[in-house]
Structure 1
Amino acid sequence: MIEYELAGADLGEVRFAISPINELALSLRTWRDPGRYPLHLRWLQLTEDARRDLDTEMILALTNRDLWTPDFLTPRPFSPLTSFTDQLDALGDVPASVLREDVAEVHPDPATRPDVLTGRPARVLGRIQRALADYWATCFEPWWPRMQTILEADVVHRGRTIARSGITAMFADLSPTRIKLVGNVLQVHMSSDAHFRRSTAGEGLTLVPTLFTRNASAPISPDEPPVVMYGARGVGTLWEAERPETPDALVGLIGAARSRLLVLLESPASSTELAVRLGVTTTAVNQHLRALHAGGLLTSARHGRSVLYLRSGLGDRLVAG
């Protein structure tokens, strides 16, 4: 069990933050044991082809059979607006001693430790950064706006709970079986053997919602900043297909499928994201997007490795009319 002492004014220093790299690292659990994460099976199916082209040797080495990941891959975020690029760049500054210790926690037996995690620290960290950058670009970035929406909604909900019922009620709702506030001590019951008690004085406590955990957890080292990760609300709706309401006249003019796309593209989205939201193939979506774009109803712009589509002025007038 891990215990954080929230002394005096520190009760007011509890903050919420969202961590893109935290989500990326914890999602690796679904590779190891997809049956334990049935809510994400749809996403795993959609990214199956893309994952084949990744550095799977390194990516799989970043977890073990118990689904642990190195603590340096889940750094404390400082804001709900944390940037993935900033977090990825910061991995290059991880001290060699921290890299060795965290890898040894995940793979304690040197005889079975993956070769890709041994050798010069700078080389290992460089390969980790490249592997995670490719993973993010192909399997996360198209869906990140949707994931981020769920995470931000959870933070708003927790803030309302604090305002309405107090901080004790908020902690009780994070994980009834794992988290408990006793006086000014927050207890986090862990599945590992980690046990320590430390104060949050001068650092505060950061609460991080995540889409890829079944239970609340915290860093297993007392040297790490005070952080608690917990399961976000609404994960069950993450990969549900959307059926937006479309005007009958619009459906009669351009068809049901293209009408739904035009309604959804009030805000920018990629073809991959739209396919997930509508529960259809990316190929089918691309066919309709090309037709709508050729007809002047959509605009498009490249964003990283994705092409984002948005309703044009003509498209806005057609939907409104």
Structure 2
Amino acid sequence: MLELTFSADDLAYTRFAISPLWETVAAVRVLKYPAEHPLHRRWAETVRPRLAAAGTRLEPLSELVAPRLIAASACPPPTSPAPDLDLELAALRLQPHDRFVTDRALLGLPPAPDPQAGLDRLADTVAEFWDVALAPYWPRIRALLDGDILYRARLLASGGAHRLFADLSPGVSWMGDQLNVPRTRPGTVPLDGRGLLLVPSAFAWPKLFSLTEPGWQPLLRYPARGVGTLWEHRERDAPAALAKILGGSRARLLALLDEPAATGDLAFRAGLSAGGTSQHLTALRDAGLVSAHRAGRYVLYARTEIAEALLA
């Protein structure tokens, strides 16, 4: 059991953050060890052929992901509540070289001849994997993570730290000034006024990941509430009011984008011509309602957060 001891300052500095970089790294773990992640099977079965079509090679990243350990240098703690991936990748590239070297040694990997080149290659791999496998789904994932943070903020406001941590993850408990966290390597870690960073995650499930090593911001990455519903099929009819504004075809296409899809597939499902579907998708993209993501020979379209809100 890991015991995190809090002072009054630590409670004051306990905060939440979302990390697209962490989700990307944890998603690679789902692909590498599929038997441990049945909850994400639908996502994995969808993205594997897309990664193959795009020729994406994951070795610079996947080698840093082990069954019980993910190299901290592959996903530094976020420095703001909701950074975008570009900001986190810049931080990844600027890490001290000794951290990267130490992580490789802990995982039994050969030394990197040029640590900076290794970090740059790692960042490039993350960006490529993100574009194909995570970016089309990010609005849905982000909504799940935002919902978890809102829920826990209400718990903190109504019942303090005891209520906040009560259902964070199985085995986590708050006693006095101490948070008890299940971990294979037990120990007591004073937070020393740094506070605790809480990072809800879709792809951490079913595990809880902690980082308490010297030189890092202490953090807990935990499964977000409601993650079991993330990949449920939620295709819906377009609201009549939305169809009056956008037109029936465009509203229907938005409703069909429950999962990212290519133009041809959408045209078939919507009963439209490929050319007409392409024109509608271009208009929706120009309006900020869909985003386009290349996966090999195909371009996948996905709803944006604005579109998700409109359909809700």
TM over 0.5: yes
Select 2:121's aligned residue among 116, 119, 127: 127
Identical aligned pairs, as a percentage? Answer: 29
Match of 1:210 in 2: 201
Deviations 1:8-37 (A, max 9, x none): 232222111111101111112112211211
Structure 1: which amino acid aligns with 2:195? G
Match of 1:163 in 2: 157
3-state SS of the aligned residue for 1:218?
strand
Distance 1:176 1:7, change over 3 A: same
TM norm structure 1: 0.78
Residues 250 and 284 of structure 2 are in contact (CA less than 8 Å); yes or no, is this contact kept in structure 1? no
Residues 42 and 239 of structure 1 are in contact (CA less than 8 Å); yes or no, is this contact kept in structure 2? yes
Distance 1:249 1:228, change over 3 A: closer
Match of 2:142 in 1: 148
Select 1:138's aligned residue among 109, 128, 132: 132
Residues 5 and 184 of structure 1 are in contact (CA less than 8 Å); yes or no, is this contact kept in structure 2? yes
Deviations 1:242-264 (A, max 9, x none): 2323468999xxxx9976424x3
Distance 1:17 1:130, change over 3 A: same
Distance 1:9 1:249, change over 3 A: closer
Distance 1:31 1:282, change over 3 A: farther
Structure 1: which amino acid aligns with 2:104? V
**1:4 Cα offset (Å):** 2.1
Which structure's relative contact order is higher, taking Cα pairs within 8 Å and 6+ residues apart? 2
Deviations 1:211-247 (A, max 9, x none): 1121222115243211011110111111112232346
Whichever of the two has the greater Rg, that structure is 1
Match of 2:308 in 1: none
Structure 2: which amino acid aligns with 1:241? H
**1:290 Cα offset (Å):** 4.6
User: In angstroms, what is the RMSD of aligned CA positions?
Assistant: 3.3
Structure 2: which amino acid aligns with 1:61? E
3-state SS of the aligned residue for 2:210?
coil
Structure 2: which amino acid aligns with 1:99? F
What are structure 2's unaligned runs of at least 5 residues?
Answer: 305-310
Query: Does 1:96 find its partner at 2:97?
Result: yes
Match of 1:7 in 2: 7
3-state SS of the aligned residue for 2:4?
strand
Deviations 1:29-74 (A, max 9, x none): 112211211121111111112322112322321212x242101223
Match of 1:55 in 2: 57
Match of 2:78 in 1: 77
**1:143 Cα offset (Å):** 0.8
Distance 1:250 1:148, change over 3 A: closer
TM norm structure 2: 0.80
Residues 196 and 222 of structure 1 are in contact (CA less than 8 Å); yes or no, is this contact kept in structure 2? no
Q: Distance in 2 between matches of 1:67 and 1:136?
A: 23
Structure 1: which amino acid aligns with 2:193? G
Q: Distance in 2 between matches of 1:249 and 1:172?
A: 42
Structure 1: which amino acid aligns with 2:276? A
Structure 1: which amino acid aligns with 2:170? P
Distance 1:5 1:188, change over 3 A: same
Aligned pairs, number:
287
**Larger deviation, residues 31-40 vs 145-154:** 31-40
Q: Distance in 1 between matches of 2:302 and 2:132?
A: 18
Q: Distance in 1 between matches of 2:29 and 2:242?
A: 43
3-state SS of the aligned residue for 2:284?
strand
Residues 161 and 169 of structure 1 are in contact (CA less than 8 Å); yes or no, is this contact kept in structure 2? yes
Query: Does 1:20 find its partner at 2:12?
Result: no
Alignment of 1:184-263 (within 5 A): 184-191=177-184, 193=185, 195-213=186-204, 214-219=206-211, 221-246=213-238, 260-262=252-254
Residues 168 and 222 of structure 2 are in contact (CA less than 8 Å); yes or no, is this contact kept in structure 1? yes
3-state SS of the aligned residue for 1:221?
coil
Structure 2: which amino acid aligns with 1:118? A
Q: Distance in 2 between matches of 1:13 and 1:157?
A: 19
